[in-house]
Structures are given as structure tokens and as C-alpha cells.
Chain A
Amino acid sequence: MMSKEEILNKNLKHYRLSQIEYHKICELLKREPRPIEWPLFSALWSEHCSYKSSRLHLKKFGQTLDETVLNAVGENAGVVDLGRGERIVFKMESHNHPSFIEPFQGAATGVGGILRDIFTMGARPIALANYLCFGELQSNRMKELIQGVVSGISSYGNCVGVPTVTGQTEFSSSYNQNILVNAMAVGLLREGEPVALSQAQGVGNDVVYIGAKTGKDGVHGAAMASASFDESSGQKNKPNVQIGDPYFEKLLIESCLEVIQKNLVVAIQDMGAAGLTSSSFEMSSKGQLGLDLHLDLVPVRDSSLTPEDILLSESQERMLLICEPAKFLEIENIFSKWGLDAVRIGKVRKEKTLRLFWHQEILTELDPDLLVENAPLYDRPFEKWTSPRKVKELSLVQNIQITEWVKNYLGSLVGGSRKPIYRQYDQRVGLRTCRDAGFDVAVLRLPDSGRGLMIATGCRPSIMKIDARLGALDAVFYPALQMAVKGGKAMAITDCLNFASPEKIEIMSEFVASVEAITQASLALKAPVISGNVSFYNETQGQGITSTPATGVVGLCESLENLPMDTFQNADESIFSLRFQTVTTSGKWGELRQENPQYMGEFKIDEAAAFIDEVRKLAKTKNVTSSQTVGQGGLAVALAKMSLQGMGCVIEEKLSPDRLVREYFYEVLFVVKDANEFLKAVPEKMKVHYLGSTCPGVFKLPGEEEISTKELNQIYQNAFQEVFHVP
């Protein structure tokens, strides 16, 4: 016989709750938790659902919200009003843990989950993006992980009919044992289309279960995603990974949008992490009304499912909906047309408690706020950010063959073409894609106003390694600059904060510094943070990832006319560099040579925002044919990348090796038809340099051998040959 203490310890371990949390539960309930209540607390008090280590700091994002953001509080995401009746909703979410265990299903269900977050609000999903971080190719299972993740995203996104228009793929040894798979979805609400909310309303209304049947998959998934991996995690956790069906999701999108647009729905919420538990408790808590739920009425795949399984299952493609009883029949008919179940499983009640029934018997009656509002909140120890790797002077780069460096860089996984990845994604379904994933910034045409919606992801792990604050500022500023160089303005931001254990002071310090930096950047750019997600415990056997606060930035350009291209277009055009140099980093150049990650200078937030404004104005002049930000790999790599389509360049200006490979925050390149006209347009205070001119077929740096653009492109296109064979 186990002693009482042994049973308690066993429960605590199984449900991943701490002693302190257990005492808090007893205090709130004024008694011991019943068996059915353990899993409820386990799920809703998990890091994944409760944000217990991050909530305190995430509040800072609140100050970035302005009058363009509607329905900001309590929903999956704020709705951004773009004017002219067009509104957008978007969010990014991590699926790191499941993707490492089972890459195909993990990545696929990551896409499915983020889509449901968007259409549950009544917005039609119009674009997907993804942010992926992988380890070194020779590390254990890495090739299989890359292939699995990419085909998972491809199989789900393509079938569901939402184009994957952009993304970012990073490689670093810090992800050898914990890959990152962050998926982003963007939804559009056209004029007159209602926003659907999730708060329970109307005593006596029906609670309706929609979509796929419930199975055992994903039970305890939320708790699993809130822990680090140990040696045996891979096999042991496989049953925690959900299985997705994009065909079902497609039917769910169409049917849910139909009932929402016909105003048949009082409230609707997707069943994401912790499934029915989180959706029902959150709807109830937000509406401050109770629910009666009859768990035995939930459609199940097999009759052996226990109430606990039903509450915690993370089976995919399911929604919970509240409607007036008189409207149920019409709702049922619509779902039935799409071949989906709509089953009444409960009622909204006046008294603010959730009563869970199993064949008429009450299993428990709980105030939802005990689990939602009263979830633990931790002020984990952290230190004020002091930029430990900031130096007075960086060492000078000297005596190197720059063209060789460019070739090596473009031929590596780090710098090579991502086409073998994105060509597996449908980038055009929906007829809105103007610039696909082959471009730095995706551009979609908004159907009513004809304006361009821009999408880019951000966060460069190499810069995070140099400095967390700098890297997090850059995670917002760099995508905003990428938009500006094409004439667009960043409108709003989502983030997906991937970190190791928050219980380590150095990780928590980087987390807090990152949140503060994103807030500051967002305020300076007047682009509010409308949604987000935190993924902690990305570590295996104590070894954590580089802190990676990924961002998704959505912007707007007023017109699709004269969008500058990424590559050189015509011969004999002038190439100019515009530089706003406040920070210089050791960059990719330093990282690939195992130099200490370092930087010098001070990032001036307001000046960076002003620079971005000026760049945007210049990009809109008709004189500009192509433009680029100078990113990882520095100026030489940027020029080479512009030369990949056959039109090359001859650089006349004598540039030091240091100038060609170090990375400056920030620098952009403009290629113009008329040099004098361009110089007249550049404001006096901006540093502008003429570099050279475009020239067909060759890439030539001063004092170096020329190389053909064809060879350069071949090297670039073949970089992924070892992972994906390109025919």
C-alpha cells in the first residue's frame, strides 16, 4: 500500500504540479482536489496555458495598443483596422515540443492550430508563414526532422487551401536537441463581416461541440509542452502528439465562417491546448457565467475514453460554440452540409460554476476563475540587462578573399536558397499573392482596396547570441526595414517567444530584456503587439536553445505599382548604399569563424525608426528598380544576392574587407535609373554612398576576380542538395 504522501507525490509528478501549487489548489477549493480535478489544474495551470512565468512581463505589450486595435482584450488576437473596411487578425504559435518528437504531425498540427485561432474570430485565413530553427545537419535525426517538418507544413497548408507565403529558416548548433517550429496565420475580415468573440453569454443558451470526434491523442499535451526533455522523452511522449487532418480543417473553416457570417453564433472558441478543458473554462470565465457540460454526449472515437481523457484530449479540428437554442437547427444543418457533427453537450447557466456531468452524475462543480483567473503567477528572478558582450572596438577583418567568402556563404545551409523548402508550399491559392516566398517580404493584394499587405518574420538567432536586447530590437526593426525598402509600413506585430527554462536566472533575464525591447521597438514604429505566444523549457538535459523571440510583422503598402524587386533588373543602373550606423556586430562572418559574439555602438531606437521612415519614402519613388536590406553576411553577400537572377554588378568604390563582411544596423541598398535624381531625393542628414553599377552576367568586387552570376546562382540553389534533392 502506498502511503498518503507517496500517492500525493505520484500525483504531483504525473500532473506536473508543484507542492506549492498543490497547497494553493487546496486553499482555493477549501478541500483536497478530487481525481477529476487533478487533470484540470494540471492543464490550466501548465506554463503553456497559464503563462505563469511570463504573464507579469507580457503586460508591457499592453501599452503598445492604440486606436487601430479592436477587441484587444481577452481574445486570441487583437483585430487591426486597416481602414476602408479592411481588418486583419494574426498570430504566431510554437509547436516545438511535438515537432521534435514527431516532426510531420507536430508541424502539421501547428499549422492547423494557428489557423483555428484565426477563423474562430470570424476572419478568413489568407496567409501562412513559418519560422523554423534547426540544428547542424550532422546532429542526430536532423535531416529527418527538417524533411518531416517541411512536409508536415506542406501537407497541411496546401490541403487546407491557405497559401504559405513567407518564412525563415535558421541553422545553429544550439537547436541540435530542440528544434523550433513556429507557425503564423493571417486572417482577413472584409467590410461588414462580424468579429466572433469567445465569452459565454445568454443564460439557457446551448453549448455545442463541433468538428472531429474526440480520441486519446494529445492527452496531457499542454503539460508535456511545458517541460524540458530528458533522454527518453522522444519515445515516451509520442502518444502526447496530436494527429491532424487538413481536409477536416478545410470543412471546419468553411462551416464556421458560414455560421459566424450568418450571425448564428453567440460565442465560439477553438479547442487548442488542453482541449475541451481550456475552451470551456475560458469561455465561462470570460463571460462570468457558468456552464453545464455533459461529457458523455461528446462524440468519441472509441467508447473506452474516460471523462479525464475527454477533458484533456487535444484531438484536432474541434470547436466549442454557444448559440441561442432557436438557432441550433440552422447551425446543425450548415455543419451537416459540410459533413461535420454539431452536438449539443450543455447549457449556459447563471451561477458562475462549471458542472461536469457523466451520465447524469455530477463529477465536479468548479468556479472557472479558480483555474483561470487564480492560476499561479510567478515573478521569477531576473537581472537587469547589461549587455555583457558589448565592446569598445571590434577587431578589424583583414586580408581575406571576399568573393570566396561569398561563395562559401551562399553555398551553405546558413546562406543558401530556401527554394527547396518553399517550393513544397502552395503559395498562390486564394488569388491574393503578389510576391511569393521567393521574395524577402511577402505581398498579398487586399481584394477590396487593392492595397498590398506585407508579411515578414523576424529574429536572427546570431544576433540573439551577441546580445538579447539587441536581437529582440532587431526582431522587430529588421522586418520593418525589409518592408520599408519596398515602400511598406509595419502595422502590427505578433511574437512567439522561444526560451529555455525560466527557472534559470540568465534565461529569465534574457526573456525580460526581450519583452522590453520588443515593446520599445513596437512603440517607436507605432506597430502594436496584437498577439503572442511563449514557449519555455526548450532545453534537453539542461542544454537550452539560444533565446529566440521570433516575430511576425504585418505591414501595408498603399499601392502595388512600382514595387521594387529584390534583384538587379536592368544594366547600367546605379547602386547606392544608405547607412544608419549605430551598431556594428561581429555578424555571421564572426559566428562562422567561432569569433566571440560581440558588438559595438549603441542602438538608438527613435533614430532607427526615423531612418526606416525615410527609407520608405525613398522606396516609393519611381526611380527605384530594386532594393535590399543588408542582412546576415554583410554588404558583399547582399550585393551577391541581388546578382542571382543574371543581372550582376561591378562595384567601383574601394571598400575595406571590414566594410564588406561586418553587419551594420542598418544599411539598405537602392538601385536607381537616374543617380542624380536619387541623390536629390535623399535627405541631407542621411549617409549615402555610390557603390557601382549593374552589369549583365558578372559579379565583381574591387580588387577581386569576377565570378559569373550563373555560377553564383548555381552555388546558391544547390546549398540544400544534401537535405532535399532538387531535380
Chain B
Amino acid sequence: MKKVGVIRFPGTNCDRDVFDWVSGHNQKPEFLWHLDQFHSTDYEMIVLPGGFSYGDYLRSGALAARSPVMKSVREFAELGRPVLGICNGFQILCEAELLPGALVKNEHQKFIDEWAGLQIENPHSHFGARYESGNRLRLPIAHGDGRFYAPAKELKKIEDQGLVWLRYQNNPNGSLNNIAGVMNQQKNVVGLMPHPERASHFWMGGIDGKDFL
């Protein structure tokens, strides 16, 4: 069974959800606390769940990106092993500069929770592998700081190098180029604002997130 490290910071609140989601895929989740360090060989995959790490003080994800456990995550990522960041996890990966760009306050300044239509731009080999370029799907979003931003030059680089993973069909937060998820150049680290774990059973209203792991 694949061992998956699920990172918990104080204030993470989707940790148990992601734990259950991982278990449901016949993989073995294990919580990692923000003060923990681990060996890259201990896990086959790392997931950073959503929430409000350290209360989102300073900036979303800023404090978490500088925590002890992130040193190990960085080593893990540098070996080309798969890392997924969801919502606040995405923000943390951007703050840690493991992913390009930044996530800033929604354009309308308010938190938003709704089902969002998305399109796969560049499919990814580790996560959501069954989807192909152009596929459309629906996943719930829930964030206050979800507007993807990068300076023009960097944005062009992100586009040119094909680092855009997912785009919104109807931009809910003012994200540049409708970007909802990106990957790093090595394509082993990915992040997205929508919550695939919240669309993993029919009773939730959709199952498009089921096959993301």
C-alpha cells in the first residue's frame, strides 16, 4: 500500500478530509506534524491539505512555508517525488517557492464557496492522471485568497513552459489567465485551489475529484 504523508499545521482544517480521501484510494495516509522531519524514502507521496495554517497570519501560507516539516517536503520534492497542495496547501507551496506564482485576495475581497467549472490545460502524470487536455470537470472551491497572480514576465514563462494545470471556465476570483492550478517545471509538485476531496462521492454532488490521487 502506498504510504502518503498528510501534513498538518496548527490551523489546517482539511487534514481529516484528506486523510479519509487517501484511505478511500487504498493508500495508507499518515499525519505529519509541522514540527516533524522525515526522510524522503519514508513516503511515496506528500499531500498538503487546505485550511488556515497558523491562522493565515501575515499572509496565507507564509508562516507554514518556513516551518520545520517544509524542509523535509523540499528535499522530497527536489528528488522528483510527488507533492500535491490543495487550497491552503497550494498557497504554502507557492510561498515556499516550490511552485511559481502567488495567491492573493480574491478580486471581490470576499471568501467564496461554490462549485466551479474547470478545464484541464496540461494533464499531470501523478495527479488526476485519467484526465486529458481539454477535459472539463466540476469541483468545489472555498477560499478567500485564491486569486492566482504572477508578474507579467513570470506569467508568460508559466504559460510558455506549459505549467498551467487547470483553468476556471468562469473566473470566480480574478485569477490571472483563469489559472486554478499549476505545476513546477519538473512536474512533480502541483497545487490547485479547488478541493478534489470534496467531490469524491455522488452524495457530495459530484465525483470529478475522485481520480485525482
Interface residues of A (CB under 8 A from B): 151, 154-155, 158-161, 245-248, 250-251, 337-339, 422-431, 433-434, 436, 445, 560, 724-725, 727
B:36-81 near A, CB below 8 Å? 50-52, 54-57
Q: Tell which of A161, A251, A424 touches B110, judged by Cβ atoms closer than 8 Å.
A: A424
- Enumerate chain A residues within 8 angstroms of B52, measured Cβ to Cβ: 158-159, 161, 246-247, 250
| Distance between Cα atoms of A156 and B200 in the complex (Å) | 26
CB distance A428 to B55 under 8 Å? no
Q: How far, in whole Å, are A436 and B113 apart by their CA atoms in the complex?
A: 10
Do the beta carbons of B11 and A429 come within 8 Å of each other?
Answer: no
Contact yes or no, B110 A247, CB < 8 A? no
5 pairs from A and B in contact (CB 8 Å cutoff) = A159-B55, A161-B13, A246-B52, A337-B33, A727-B108
Residue in B closest to A438 when the chains form the complex, CB atoms: B114
When distances are taken between beta carbons in the complex, the residues of chain B under 8 Å from A248 are 55
Q: Which residues of A contact B195 (CB under 8 A)?
A: 428
Residue of B nearest to A164 (CB): B113
Closest CB-CB distance, A454 to chain B, in whole Å? 14
Q: Within the assembled complex, what's the spacing in Å between the Cα atoms of A248 and B54? A: 9
For the complex of A and B, list the 8 residue pairs with the smallest distance between their C-beta atoms, beginning with the closest. Answer: A161-B13, A247-B55, A159-B52, A431-B17, A426-B142, A428-B198, A434-B203, A560-B203
CA of A279 to CA of B52, assembled, Å: 30
- Since A424-B113, A431-B197 are in contact, a sample of 11 more A-B pairs with Cβ atoms closer than 8 Å, ordered by chain A residue number, is A161-B13, A247-B55, A248-B55, A250-B11, A250-B13, A423-B113, A426-B113, A431-B198, A434-B204, A724-B110, A725-B108
Q: In the complex the two chains form, is B112's CB within 8 Å of A424's CB?
A: yes
When distances are taken between beta carbons in the complex, the residues of chain B under 8 Å from A423 are 112-114
Q: Using A426-B142, A433-B204 as known contacts, say yes or no to A245 and B13 having CB atoms under 8 A apart.
A: no
CA distance A151 to B57 in the complex (A): 17
Q: A160-B13, A247-B52, A247-B54 are in contact. Are A154 and B111 (CB under 8 A)?
A: yes
A-B contact count (CB 8 A): 86
Q: Are A445 and B14 in contact (CB under 8 A)?
A: no
| Cβ-based interface call for B154 (8 A) | no
CA distance A560 to B112 in the complex (A): 26
Residues of chain B having any CB pair with chain A under 8 Å: 10-11, 13-14, 16-17, 20-21, 33, 50-52, 54-57, 107-108, 110-114, 140, 142, 144, 172, 195, 197-198, 200, 203-205
- A431-B17, A431-B20, A434-B204 known; A247-B11 Cβ under 8 A: yes
- Selected from B113, B198, B203, the residue in CB contact (under 8 A) with A445 is B203
Q: Which of B10, B21, B172 contacts A339 (CB 8 A)?
A: B10
Q: Is the CB of B113 within 8 A of A428?
A: yes
Q: How far is the CB of A653 from chain B (nearest CB, A)?
A: 34
> Given that A423-B114, A426-B113, A433-B204 are known contacts, is A251 also in contact with B11, CB under 8 Å in the complex?
yes
**Contact between chains at A427 and B55 (CB < 8 Å):** no
Which residues from B are CB-within-8-Å of A560? 203
**A161 proximity list for chain B (CB < 8 A):** 13-14, 51-52
Q: Which residues of B contact A436 (CB under 8 A)?
A: 205
Complex CA distance for A436 and B140, rounded to whole angstroms: 11
Asked whether B111 lies within 8 Å of A430 as measured between CB atoms, the reply is no
Chain A residues with CB under 8 Å of B144's CB are: 158
Query: Who on chain A is nearest to B106 by CB?
Result: A727
Residues in A whose Cβ lies below 8 Å from that of B57: 247
- Minimum CB distance partner of B20 in chain A: A431
* Complex Cα–Cα for A567 and B185 (A): 46
Whether the Cβ atoms of A159 and B56 lie closer than 8 Å is: yes
Q: What is the CB-to-nearest-CB distance from B23 to chain A, in angstroms, rounded to a whole number?
A: 12
Q: Would A427 and B113 count as touching, CB distance under 8 A?
A: yes
B204 touching A338 by the CB < 8 A rule?
A: no
| A542 CB to nearest B CB, Å | 37
Min CB gap A439→B, angstroms: 10
A429 in contact with B13 given A158-B142, A161-B51, A434-B203 (CB within 8 Å): yes
Q: Which residues of B contact A429 (CB under 8 A)?
A: 13-14, 17, 50, 142
Assess whether B198 is in contact with A246, with CB atoms less than 8 Å apart: no
Q: Is the CB of A428 within 8 A of B111?
A: no
Report the minimum CB–CB distance from A158 to chain B (whole Å): 6
Complex CA–CA separation, A65 to B48 (angstroms): 45
CB < 8 Å neighbour of A430 from B17, B54, B140, B172: B17
- Collect the chain B residues with CB atoms within 8 Å of residue A426's CB: 111, 113, 142
Kindly list chain A residues whose C-beta atoms are within 8 Å of the C-beta of B20. 431
Is A431 touching B21 in the complex (CB atoms < 8 A)? yes
Q: How far is the CA of A425 from the CA of B112 in the complex (A)?
A: 7
A-side contacts of B108, CB under 8 Å: 725, 727
> Nearest-CB distance from A340 to chain B (Å)?
10
Is B13's CB under 8 angstroms from A428's CB?
no
Whole-angstrom distance between the alpha carbons of A424 and B197 in the complex?
Answer: 20
Q: Nearest chain-A residue to B53 (Cβ)?
A: A247
With a CB–CB cut-off of 8 A, which chain B residues contact A424? Answer: 110-113
Least CB distance, A151 to chain B, in whole angstroms: 7
Which residues on the A side are within 8 Å of B113 (C-beta)?
422-428
Question: Of all chain A residues, which has the CB nearest B171?
Answer: A727
Closest Cβ–Cβ distance, residue A550 to chain B (whole Å): 24
Q: Which residue of B lies closest to A124 (CB)?
A: B16
Asked if B10 contacts A251 (CB within 8 A), the reply is yes
Chain B residue numbers with a CB within 8 Å of A155 are 111
Chain A residues in 8 Å Cβ range of B142 = 158, 426-429
Report whether B140 and A338 are in contact in the complex, using a CB–CB cutoff of 8 Å.
Answer: no
